[in-house]
Structures are given as structure tokens and as C-alpha cells.
């Protein structure tokens, strides 16, 4: 064992070095922000959960708005189809009247 500790001074106690290193690492971790108090973690978690709830509410709002827009679009599509049918019917009537007038004109000659 003395061969392994040959580079260390004789009065140096290795367990004390380990404890000192642990203290230094702990202080360094606190200063660098790697270790934070539990209250701060709880506060940050609460903020995060609140933001998630807000985003979920916003998503639900957008989903609702999309459903309303889709319903409106369906109604508009139905109404346009009805207008097209009316237009086709009107065009058919005008063409039929035109043909009737032409036939009467030929018959009258």
C-alpha cells in the first residue's frame, strides 16, 4: 500500500482528500447551477405545467375554430352546388325557349 501512496506526503490522509473533493465538487455544482434547491425545482415544474395547460387550451381553441370553419365550408359547398343546379336549370330553360322560338320561326315561313 505504501508503494501506491509513494507520491503523496506522509501526513496526507486519502479519505480527507475524498471528502474535500466532494465538498469542492458540491460547491462547484451549486455555483454552476447543476444543483438547485427543491423549492426552485417545484416552482419551475409549476411554471412548466401552467404553460402546458395554456398550450393545451390554445390547441383546443384552434381545434374548435377549425371545426366551425369546416362546418361553414361544408355549408358553402352545399349552397354553391344548389346555385349551380339552379344555373343549369335556367340555362336549360333558356336554350329550350330559344329552340322553341326558332322552330316557330321556321314553321311560320
pLDDT at position 21: 85
pLDDT in tens, 72-88: 999 999 999 999 999 99
Distances (CA, A) of 93 to 31, 35, 65, 81: 88, 84, 42, 18
pLDDT at position 31: 87
pLDDT in tens, 5-62: 455 555 556 566 777 888 888 888 888 888 888 899 999 999 999 999 999 999 999 9
- List the chain domain ranges: 37-104
Amino acid at each position: 500500500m505504501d508503494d501506491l501512496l509513494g507520491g503523496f506526503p506522509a501526513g496526507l490522509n486519502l479519505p480527507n482528500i475524498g471528502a474535500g473533493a466532494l465538498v469542492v465538487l458540491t460547491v462547484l455544482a451549486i455555483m454552476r447551477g447543476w444543483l438547485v434547491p427543491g423549492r426552485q425545482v417545484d416552482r419551475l415544474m409549476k411554471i412548466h405545467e401552467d404553460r402546458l395547460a395554456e398550450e393545451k387550451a390554445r390547441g383546443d381553441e384552434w381545434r374548435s375554430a377549425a371545426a366551425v370553419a369546416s362546418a361553414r365550408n361544408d355549408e358553402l359547398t352545399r349552397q354553391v352546388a344548389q346555385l349551380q343546379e339552379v344555373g343549369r336549370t335556367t340555362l336549360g330553360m333558356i336554350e329550350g325557349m330559344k329552340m322553341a322560338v326558332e322552330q316557330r320561326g321556321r314553321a311560320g315561313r
